[in-house]
Every structure is written in structure tokens, then in C-alpha cells.
Structure 1
Amino acid sequence: MPRRSVPLLVSAALTLAVSAVAVSTWPASPALAAGPSPFDFPGRGATVPFAEQEAVAGASNGTSTGTSRFYGQLSSEASGREAVTLDAAGEYVEFTLTQPANAVTFRYSIPDSPSGTGRDASLDVRANGTLVKSVPVTSKYSWYYGGYPFSNNPGDGSPHHFYDEARTLFGTTYAAGTKIRLQVSSTAQSPSFTIDVADFENVPAPIGKPSGAIDVVADYGADPTGARDSTAQFQAAVNASSGRVVYVPQGNYTLYSHVIVDRVTLAGAGPWYTVLGGRHPTQRNLAAGIYGKYVSEGGPSQNVTVRDLAVIGDIRERVDADQVNAFGGAMSNSVIDNVWMQHTKVGAWMDGPMDRFTIRNSRILDQTADGVNFHIGVTNSSVTNTFVRNTGDDGLAMWAENVPNVGNSFTRNTVVAPILANNIVSYGGRDITISDNVVSDTVTNGGGLHVANRYPGVNGPTAVAGTWTLARNTLLRAGNSDYNWQFGVGAIWFDALNGPITGAAITITDTDILDSSYAALHWIEGQSSGITLSNINIQGAGTYALQVQAPSQVTFNNVRASGIAQPNPIHNCVGSGFQITRTGTNTGWYTDTPYCGPWPAPQWGNTTTPPTTPPTTPPVSGNLALNRPVTATGQADVYAPGNAVDGNANTYWESPNNAWPQSLTVDLGAARSVSRIMLKLPPAAAWATRTQTLSVLGSSDGSSFSTVKSSAGYTFNPSSGNTATVSFTATTQRYLRLTFTGNTGWPAGQVSEFEVYTS
């Protein structure tokens, strides 16, 4: 989102030296309490394919950056607010693998060049002491200066956005217990290297070409070496697809402009193998991206699937007018699945009107602006099971500018360290769901979750309306100071600047607000009503439990708070304009005499024990497999396994023909008690009655499976909805697998919906 164009007001004490990483010059704060990582909350957030380790928890002969949450400090942008600096040859951070891995992605910072154009260096990766490879690192995609929209000129002061990420395949798989070091071989190229986290994973082999697919290299001459522009070849393949998959083999492809997609599946060999990138050498507002057709161009595009590839761009600045995003335009009835987005302006800036668009099972890293923005009339669309880190603005956003956004959802995502603004936000919108997410480490000018009538075009019919559900979210070290307002922003906050938030039912339930940087809950600008908070757990807040700067009417039911820094838990200067209704058991946050006075300095580390998700938080209900990660032993043409968990009975997975047995496996994200599976096929009468023979297996780790339900035949009859139910004794499993051995209607396994229930 564009930010307020108020002059940047930041103390000179925040300025970091450009030639070297500086030590914090802020007065010492109490030590931060040892706290969890964003991945310590089973059943919430994205299910990721990697195991993350913090540098500060590894073995190292480097130096801690110290802990800080003040904007402009290197540690304030780190996961957990602390990292490790290596500034001499031979210094290292060493991690011990907790599971087999053949790849690592590490988050790092090196100092910028004096000119602000960036510096290049390398960092060694060693396994049990042996050099694996030297990995290039750079500051070209980090280090911004001045006020919004920011510059690359160090003379503008106020540096920020310090971190970037690098990834590499090891070339072999190392066993659990292997010692992996990130080590400095020389400081000639960079005086220091700061390491934040390392994400270790076991990347599967490249995905082969689907049967009957168009090959952009073999059939249309695209260049997998990246030596020349392949935009025309990609576009020609897409235009000629006529329902066939367009396959992009392993390679690094240069695109000088957008590929416009419509009614096509664009599939790669996997996001570690198929990489799209590039930027026009002279027209710098043209860059690699996959775009639907705008409404003004006859759009939206329809029935687009993009899967199993990466878009890693070359965007080093923020120019809001430039369409240099990984995805854009308008796509209806479309899916982005297992895509890596990095170094673009926005991962996906989608301009509607458009309907039923989903991003799932993806990674969005190191953007100059938002991670995702649903903008202008986006309806019934979602982002789910996606990991977002180090965005230059909002992590996940919806912006109903002039045209209503309706029925959208952000579910089961993990959003870490947005450098500016919020982890997750909806500016206006009707019937919005934000659930089962984990957000952490907000840096400045925003909170963890934000509900707002703000920004142009958000008022009247586009304002907050209908039923809003914010459920089962965890907010960790969320909220921070706003450098324009010069006071803190809450972990969850409401803003009615453009018009009152009235006529909406906003329910926030079963939510954990842990170690907030300033207030846990915050109301500012305008007036709001219809807000109910139920079963809320607040553990630790740097200032207040409630920060009230606008009149509101709020119901509090079973809201419990502890570790509030200020002795008076409520800051309220609007008096009786803030109307509280209390039901159930409420502790630790209420007073009859709120404080109204100067803003106190935040105090962090107020929890006596590391924050934890309380056992009273109820489990997720409904279809536990919806939009969860799913894999299969194979697929026919466009009938990918993701179709079986997308909530749309008209799309389906189909295995290769005559290749029994075939399996479909869903990862529920955490161990769940399950006792019923509902299987569906498309409801169309064209599907003749058939019986499929299958068994159900379960696993806690995804590798060792046991039988949950023995093999049996299940009949699917279109006259009764083409559904079949598999019931079994309740069992606790994280992974469920369907293994097919027969089908009387087609020589393959077929499922349009694989639904899993607790009862």
C-alpha cells in the first residue's frame, strides 16, 4: 500500500553506518524474554517444507546484534529481533540439521556500498567442516533510505530494509545431525555478514513433463540458460496451448516483459529448478511477470493455473506506477500453486474485478512493496498455506478501492517481518475471513492484524461491512511504532479514518497476542462498533493491553491478559466514548480509571515464561484438508493433486492411466483427531456411476504409514451427488493417504474433493 506522505521523523541515533553494520545506539532496554519462533504453533500458520533455525540459537564465534525493536536498527528487522554478525575471516554460524536436507535458504544482511548501488560478496557453506560451495550474497535488493517512496541514496539518511535471502542446493543430501556452517572466508568484499535464520529442506527431484504438454524449449525455442529474452517464445506457447499444459523445463529464463495468460496451465519442474526472471535493459518499467488480462483488455482471464516454478526478479527500487510484480492483472477461477516469488515489487498485485482466485502453498520473499494485494473488486478469493517474509509494505493485503471486495480470505499463512505497515490487513471489504495465521515481528507503521476504512476509495459501499471472522490467529511480537505518529501501533488495530466502521459484525475469537511490541489492542481515528472479542489470550505487551484513541463499542468475552508493561492497562483519552461490555471471565486488562497522558517508552520481555498457545484454544473444525498441502504419486495432464483440496467439486485430481496403485496424500499441518473422510467427484451427470477401490493410511511424520481403513470399494453415483463417505475409528494423524487400486469407470484414481473431518 502507498504510505502516508508525511516527512520521515526519525532520530539521527537510528542511522546506521553504510560502510559497516553498526551496533545499536539506543539506550539499553530490558532483555527480551526468550520466546518462540513463528513455527512453534502447531495447526496455525503455513505448513512449510523447511525446518527453520535461528542464528542466535546456533553455535557461533560471531557477535550478537543485540535486541531491539526500534525502526532503523539491524536487530529490529530480524526474526526474533536478534541476529549474529560475522566480521572476520573464519567466523561462522553453525547449525545442526534436525532432518535430512539438500538445500538451504538463509536470511542475511551485508553493508551497502557508499554510493547505494550495492555490493557483492560470497559466504561459504560447509558440511562437517568440508566446503560445499561459496554462495553469492548482495546488498542490491536491500538498503533503502529516506521517506516513502524511499530511495537508494545513502545521503537521504534513515536506512532500513537491511535483509535479503539467498538459496542454494548442496548437490547431495545430508543426514540429520550434520553440522552446516555459514562461514566467512574473507572480508575483502564486505566488512561484515549478519545472519538471521537458515531454512533447511530436502528439495524433491525435478518434476517431469506431463504427457501431451507443450514444451517451451523443445517446441518454441525458449532459452533455459537465460542468455536471451524468451518472452516471445513463452507467449507463443501460451497462445497455442488450446487446453494443453505449457511445461517450462528446468532452467533460468529471462523475460523482458509480462507473459499474458488465459485458459492455460503453466507448469514448471519445481520452484528450485524452473526460474523466471529478468528486466528490460533500457525500459526499466518492464520486467518478468505472469499477468492476467485486465478488464479494460477484455479480462479477467479465466481458468489459469501456474504451478511449480519461481519468479525471481531484479527489482531494486520502489516505483508504485511500475507493473513489475511477479503476478498481476485479473484472473478468475484461477490458481497459483507452489510458486516462489522474490525480488519483485509485489508478489501478486491483482487488479479486479475478478472472482475465485487462489494463491496456495507458495513463498513470497524480499519484495519492495506488498506480498499480495487484492485490489479493486476481488471476490471469493484467497491466500492460503503461504509463507511471506521481508516485504517492503503490507504482507497480505486487500484494498477495496472504489469497487467492493467480497468474500475473500487469508488462511493458514505465516507472515514474518513486514518492513513497513501490517502483517495482514483488509482496507474495507465485506464478509472477510482472516483465520489460522501466524504473524510476527512487525517493524514499523503497522500491526499484526488491521481492520480499516482507510486509503482512497474505501468508504460507503466499499467500506468494512458484513460478517468479518478473525479466528485462531497467533500474533507474536506484533505491532510497532509509527514514525509519523510518534507512538505505538497495536498488535490488532482498527482505523475508521474514511468513515465509521458500523453495520459490520467483526468477531475475533480464539486468538493469542504474544509479546506485543506496544499495545495488544488499538482503536484510532473515526468510530467503530460491532466488535466482539472472545477467548483472547494476551501475554506480554510493551505498553498497554488497550490503546484507545477513538470512540468505539466493543464486547469482551473471556479476554485474559498478563505481562502488561504499564501498571494501568488501558490508555484512553476519549472517556465514555469507548463503551465496554464484559461477559464471561476477563482478567488483567480492565480498569475503571484508564490513563490519559504522555506516551511511555515501551518495555519488552514482560512475560515470566515463554508465551505459549493456551490449551483452551479449541481445535480447527470443518474440513481439515481444505487448501492443505497435497501430493500424489502421479497425475494425468492438468488434473493436479491440488484440485482435490481446493473446495471446488468441478476440478479434480486424476492419476496416470493403468498404473496401479496410485496414492493421494494430504498434510493436515498438525496431528489431528480424525474419523471421517468424504470423497467427491464432479457432480455433472456426464460422470457415469463408478466404484473406486481404495484404502486409507495415516502417518505422524509423512514417511512411515499405517493402515487406518482397509481396502474397500466405494460407489460414486451422480444421482446422489457423486460422493462417498469413509468412516473409521477416531485416530490421531497428521498425514492421510488414499491408495487406489481400481476404478470401474476409468483406469485411474479420481478425486475432486478429499475432505477430512473430526467426526
Structure 2
Amino acid sequence: MTPPPRRQLLRRSISASLSLALAAFGTAAAVVLSSAPPARAAGVPAPSPMAVPGRGATVPFKEQEAEYAATNGTLIGPNRLYGTLPSEASGRQAVTLDAVGEYVEFTLTAPANAMSFRYSLPDNAAGSGRDASINVLVNGGSPKAVPVTSKYGWYYGGYPFNNNPGDTNPHHFYDEARTMFGSTLAAGTKVRLQVSSTSASPTFTIDLADFEQVAAPTGKPSGALDVVGDFGADPTGAADSTAKIQAAVDAGKAQGREVYIPQGTFQVRDHIIVDKVTLRGAGPWYSVLTGRDPSNRSKAVGVYGKYAANGGSSNVTLKDFAIIGDIQERVDDDQVNAIGGALSNSTVDNIWMQHTKCGAWMDGPMDNLTIKNSRILDQTADGVNFHYGVSNSTVTNTFVRNSGDDGLAMWAENVPNVKNKFTFNTVILPILANNIVTYGGKDITISDNVMSDTITNGGGLHIANRYPGVNSGQRTAVSGTTTAARNTLIRTGNNDFNWRFGVGAIWFSGLNEPINATVNISDTEILDSSYAAIHLIEGATNGLNFNNIKIDGAGTYALQVQSPGTATFTNVVATHIAQPNPIHNCVGSGFQITRGTGNSGWYADPPACTGNWPDPVWTNGGVPQGGNGPTDPPTDPPTDPPTDTGNLAQGRPVTESGHADVYSASNAVDGNANTYWESTNRAFPQTITVDLGAAKAVKRLVLKLPPAAAWSTRTQTLSVSGSTDNSTFNSLKGSAGYTFDPSSGNKATVTLPGTSARYLRLTFTGNTGWPAAQLSELEAYTS
């Protein structure tokens, strides 16, 4: 998160080429191949944040790691030592190319017409960055140059960072570039990133590539205002279009019409202020807002609501465009974020945010904002921060990578944050601080996310009474019930350079005052943690409940206790813990543990209490990286996304049109055929909708009623529909009658066409045995 305002040192003020983010293929260049050694793939298998079924963001791209691709370059890593190049790579491994002709070659697993790739160049001696290009070859064809730069990376020293390469602790090494191929490449196509010259950069380190099939540009909606055709904005990016786009937005509000940004790159050098308007583009690969004031560096591209002090904004939709800035330093006083201000009752949908300070820094008080289906990349500070009285707001299905501070954060500074949610997001490689955090807040939900590869001074998931303005006196402290359910954390937690010891994958802090609330952590995987799996520090934390937790691999301890508190552990299973004693606790009985059933591998009495913190044992999928520790992999990482087997609906979120008495919809996905959902009586039609967590090609439903003989045979009439967004549903199976006979198991099978859908809805219109819909189990299968 961005700390309280304080002036920071400018990293650099050199203007970068705006063509980087929209890199197009350039002029062919000569490539020397004769001296290149044979290709090989050498990466150490490691758990991937992109291969967790049902959790995290559903992304439009297929990701491939360079360390598993064909290459004649040099594998670096695995290594998690802060300040080293592999430590900030995805999976803590990458490939360095340092000679003409060296390459990384990917083989497409699905058709694609676009690629973005993550890379690092070394900084120059002055710390002002370097520009270069790398060639892309398709099936060995003519090379075409894509610009790359180090200007958005390479910070030095400790916070607040500076531009002095002589200082210690260089970090924030990587950046991303994107390009479109001009045609769709078939699965099996070879796409090579290759060095043609080392004159501009001595090395090129390739971390990964994301391949996707980008749809054609979306046309102007009927009746919409066009920022180019109606207001004269410049789609070439040559002229400053700030005033003209602002005029279009103001007219859209006054006339009640949408505002359309057609294909193009638009120079925007200050905030576009939006209120009661829809601003829509042709798609984030086509409609790009970029730019920065050439003299006043505190002004840069951004789309903002009015601040709450000025009345705030409401009923805003931002959709289908990119905000790609030119922020090369971190100055917290500068409001150079992609999205900001106060936006109540508003939606941010399918926005690409890159090279700004924060993706979205929202200053309340404000209510009911949803950020969804978006990408937030290469920020100097937070990915998203709900700051100062943001309530009933959500970030969902959003992909965050390479934030300079917290990936997703809530900070209830002086004004309460209430009932906010972070759900189904993937947050990777926050360079400083945490993947996901709530500083204070009441009734907060953090669920179904994937977090991986924390770098330093933070953990994967953090719940805390920390930072100014977070206290019970102002009702901003952690309170009510905080729910963290069905999250997966991979290689999270890391070393804190202030404390000089490790921070846990999931950690709690009562720095400002003790946490006295209900905090439920459930159905969670903590995999291959860099230090401890669970960690308490700085003041008491009371009311913790851990239920159904898998800890598989920890660099130090399963449980690191440095403060008092109370916690209940049920079905918590730990394996591959580096230290022989899995608990470090020097506060003794000040931390009260209640052990339920099903625990193993994490408890010891007495715990360890040592004067020195042990060096971590980093396994990275089973290969020890220091010390003596477990050599078995902490998990079996798939090289491809796992095949969906088993019942996809069990344990998933479910909604209903209504229920009678205690017979709620959750009974239909609990795996117990003796419990059941019964809808409101005499109120057909009735619906039940299950969220599978990601789009799945479901081909078969098995519907069950309780097997007890007391249930007579009955026929229920129902139809099935599916949706990818829980808004627009399409028919998957027309209305038909299905007979449930206790003599044959009281179940019925519904065959489906295999159309991909995340949300499945059953609509009941009749039941011959009871005047309501009844269902004990809704099971969904892909075969």
C-alpha cells in the first residue's frame, strides 16, 4: 500500500517511448544462428499460480514459463534471495540470453493472435534506464523487432527508494511488453524471442509469455458519442487529447449517452473526471489512453471520479480500454494512478492498467464499486487500494502482477471500510508488501483467490490493525467477521529487511491495537511458503479460526508466534516443514491454541524458542535451495492445467430464488445426499444457481433427492441455463420432466452440450410430489 503521504525521491524523469505498450513488429534484422548451441528445457518443476482449478481469475491467455520452453540461453534460479534476478521471476526461475542468436522458443497450445511477455534488462550505470529491442520469429520466419526497456524498473536502496545504482538492494527488475501478430497462429506454432544484437543491452532475461486470441475491435454502440468523430481527439497520439475527451465525457453525462473511445492511442496528460457516464473502448488491445504532462510530472493520464470532498461521483461505467502510463518513479504525493477518486454505484470492467503509480487508488467515503475482469501490471505502488471509507465494494476476476507494493489492499484510514470483497483474483509478484491485505475493516471477505511469489516485507495474506487511522476509536479496526475462504497461496511470505526475520504466508498484526474479532480462515492451501506458513506479530490477535487448511512446504515453521492471542485449529494438516519443531513460540501460554479434530504435522509441545532465526529451506517444487530440508516436492505441479474430474459443484458458492425453513441452497452442494434444498412453497418458477469458479465445459448433471424410502417417486420439471458473468444466461437444456424414484437411487441425469459456462442455473416449474423445487445434490461433471 502507499504509506501516508510523504515526499519521495524521484526515480527518473526521462520520457519513455509510448510505443512500448503497443509494440508492433518492426523491420527485419539479421540474426546469427550458426554458433548457437542446441535447444534445451531445463527448468525445475514448481507449483504454478495459473493451474489452480476453481480459484483465481479466469484469464483470456495461456501462460508459458521460459524455463520450460526450448532455449539455448542460460537458466537462472530457482532462487528467492532478495535482490537477485531470479527472485522476482515467476516461479523464481527465468532464462537469460546474452549472445546474438540466443533465444527462448514457445510452442502454442491454443490459437493466438497476440502475445505479452515478461522480461528484464540490466539498468545502465547512471540508473536512467536503457532501450533495446528483441526479435520475434514465427515458425522460423522473418524476425520482427519489439521494443523493450528498463525504464520502468530498477529501484535502489530502501523505502522510499532512489535512483542511485551505488546503493544496495536493487529490485523491481521486470516489465512486460505486448504485441499482436497480425493473424491468428494455430496451436503448435513456434514463437521465438531471439537476440539480434547486444549493443543496446548486454543481456535479455525472459520470464514468461502469455498468448491469447484477442477478439476484433468492438464497434461504437448505437447512440454513443465518439471522442474522435464528434470531438476531434487524436487517435495517433501525436496531439494532447485531454480536453477533447473531457468534453466528450461531460457531454455524455449531460445527454445521457455513452462515450466511445475508438481504436487508437490517445495522449492524456491529466485526469479525465467522470460522473454519471459510461466510457467504453473498442477493447484494451485497441483503445489506449496514455501520456504525462511534459513539464509538470505530477500530472498524468488517469480516469477519476470526483473526490468525496467535492461530492464524489456515481453511476459510472469504465469498460474495454487500456490506461498505460509513463510513471517511472514513486512519489506518493502525486496522484498519477490509472483510476482514482470516489466512484459509488460504479463498475470498472475489462480495463488494462499498466505503468501508473497504482492501478486503482480509491478515496472514499464511497459505496458499491466493482472492479472486474481487468489486468493490473507493472505498478510502482499498489495494484488496488480501497482507502478511507470504501464499503460494499468488490475486486473480482482480476489479474495483478508486479505491483510495487500491496497487490490488493483495503486501508480503513479514519473512516470505516465495511463489507468489501476480494474474490476470484490472481495476485502474483508484489515487489514490496503483501499479495492481499486488509488494514482494518468490518465484515471483510477475501475468498477464492490465488496468491504467489511474495518478494519482501510482506506475506501472501495479511489481516492487521496497522497503518495510521486504523483503530477501534474510529470504528476502523478489524471487526465483525473477516472471512478468508478457499484461497491458495504459493511461495508467499518472505524476509522483512526492517525486522530481519521472515514474514509468514498468512500473517496477523495488532500493531495499533489488538485484533478482537472473528477471523475465519478456511478451505485454504498454503504451498511451498518461503518462511513460516502462519505468523502472528505486534500485539494480540484474538478470534482466529483455522478450518480445513493444507500446509505443504514451509521454509521455516508451520506456525511462527511472536504475539499473544487465541486460535482454534481444525483439520489443519502440515507436511514438509523445514524445521524439526514445527512451531516457534516465545510468548508461551500467552498464545492459546484450541485443537479440534483432524490436525497433524504442525503442533509441538513444547514449541521451539530460539535466539536466532533459522535460514529458510526453499524447495521450489522439491529441489532444496539451501540447508538440509525436505527433498520431496511440496506439491505435484502440473505442467498443464489439470483435467477437471469429479463433481465441480461440490462446495461451490450457490444462490437461490428462495427456500423454506432451514432447507437452504447450500444443502445442494454439501456432498451429503441426506440434506436438501427446498424452495419457497407454491411459488414456481424457482431457481438455484451454482458458481463453478471458472468457465467449465459441463456435459452432465446428476440431480439427487434424499435416498430415504420415505420419499415417494416424483417428477420435477426443470431447465438448465449457463452464464460466464452471472448476468446473461443462455439455454443449455430446455424444460423437461425428470423422474426421481427411490428404488433406483432417487436421482436423475441431465445431459448437456458441453458449452463453456461458469454459472449453472436450474429453473424449476413443477414437482408432482411437492409444491416446491427439491434437490439434495446438484453435481456437475465435464464427462
TM over 0.5: yes
Sort the Cα spacing of 1:318 and 1:490 in 2 relative to 1 into closer, same or farther, 3 A. Answer: same
Q: Distance in 2 between matches of 1:612 and 1:409?
A: 31
Question: Are 2:405 and 1:393 equivalent residues in the alignment?
Answer: yes
1:498 aligned partner, one-letter code: N
Paired residue for 2:364?
A: 352
Which runs of no fewer than 5 residues in structure 1 stay unpaired? 7-30, 627-664, 678-693, 713-726, 740-755
Sort the Cα spacing of 1:67 and 1:169 in 2 relative to 1 into closer, same or farther, 3 A. Answer: same
Q: Distance in 1 between matches of 2:227 and 2:406?
A: 35
Paired residue for 2:694?
A: 668
1:178 aligned partner, one-letter code: T
Q: Distance in 2 between matches of 1:466 and 1:484?
A: 31
Paired residue for 1:367?
A: 379
Q: Distance in 1 between matches of 2:349 and 2:191?
A: 30
2:263 aligned partner, one-letter code: Q
Residue deviations 1:120-176 (CA, integer Å, cap 9, x gap) = 000011111013521000000000011111122213332100000000001111100
Q: Distance in 1 between matches of 2:378 and 2:778?
A: 37
Question: Are 2:240 and 1:229 equivalent residues in the alignment?
Answer: yes
Residue in structure 2 matching 1:621, options 617, 632, 652: 652
Whether the 8 Å contact between 1:229 and 1:254 is mirrored in structure 2 is yes
Q: Distance in 2 between matches of 1:456 and 1:517?
A: 28
Whether the 8 Å contact between 1:621 and 1:758 is mirrored in structure 2 is no
Whether the 8 Å contact between 1:370 and 1:396 is mirrored in structure 2 is yes
Q: Distance in 1 between matches of 2:542 and 2:554?
A: 24
Q: Distance in 1 between matches of 2:216 and 2:693?
A: 19
Q: Distance in 1 between matches of 2:160 and 2:213?
A: 38
Paired residue for 1:550?
A: 563
Q: Distance in 2 between matches of 1:732 and 1:488?
A: 50
Which runs of no fewer than 5 residues in structure 2 stay unpaired? 7-41, 620-629, 658-690, 704-717, 737-747, 761-776
**Within 5 A, what are the aligned runs for 1:138-537?**
138-241=149-252, 242-299=255-312, 301-460=313-472, 461-502=475-516, 504-537=517-550
* Post-superposition offset of 1:467: 0.8
Paired residue for 1:45?
A: 56
| Number of residue equivalences | 646
Of the structure 1 ranges 64-73 and 334-343, higher mean CA displacement relative to structure 2 is found in 64-73
Q: Distance in 1 between matches of 2:759 and 2:505?
A: 41
Question: Are 2:90 and 1:70 equivalent residues in the alignment?
Answer: no
Q: Distance in 2 between matches of 1:4 and 1:337?
A: 29
Q: What SS does structure 2 have at the residue aligned with 1:234?
A: helix
Whether the 8 Å contact between 1:161 and 1:419 is mirrored in structure 2 is yes
Q: What SS does structure 2 have at the residue aligned with 1:240?
A: helix
1:476 aligned partner, one-letter code: I
Paired residue for 1:709?
A: 733
Residue in structure 1 matching 2:633, options 592, 609, 632: 609
* Post-superposition offset of 1:338: 0.4
Q: Distance in 2 between matches of 1:471 and 1:222?
A: 46
Sort the Cα spacing of 1:32 and 1:491 in 2 relative to 1 into closer, same or farther, 3 A. Answer: farther
Sort the Cα spacing of 1:85 and 1:413 in 2 relative to 1 into closer, same or farther, 3 A. Answer: same
Whether the 8 Å contact between 2:576 and 2:634 is mirrored in structure 1 is no
Of the structure 1 ranges 457-466 and 617-626, higher mean CA displacement relative to structure 2 is found in 617-626
Question: Are 2:584 and 1:571 equivalent residues in the alignment?
Answer: yes
State the TM-score, normalizing by the size of structure 2: 0.79
Whether the 8 Å contact between 2:696 and 2:757 is mirrored in structure 1 is no
Sort the Cα spacing of 1:178 and 1:409 in 2 relative to 1 into closer, same or farther, 3 A. Answer: same
* Post-superposition offset of 1:526: 0.2
Q: Distance in 2 between matches of 1:611 and 1:156?
A: 38
Q: Distance in 2 between matches of 1:546 and 1:33?
A: 27
Sort the Cα spacing of 1:523 and 1:281 in 2 relative to 1 into closer, same or farther, 3 A. Answer: same
Q: What SS does structure 2 have at the residue aligned with 1:156?
A: coil
Question: CA-atom RMSD, angstroms?
Answer: 3.0
Q: Distance in 2 between matches of 1:728 and 1:214?
A: 50
Q: Distance in 2 between matches of 1:602 and 1:114?
A: 33
* Post-superposition offset of 1:228: 1.0
Q: Distance in 1 between matches of 2:85 and 2:557?
A: 26
Sort the Cα spacing of 1:620 and 1:291 in 2 relative to 1 into closer, same or farther, 3 A. Answer: farther
* Post-superposition offset of 1:735: 1.9
* Post-superposition offset of 1:708: 3.5
Whether the 8 Å contact between 1:540 and 1:607 is mirrored in structure 2 is no
* Post-superposition offset of 1:393: 0.2
* Post-superposition offset of 1:243: 1.8
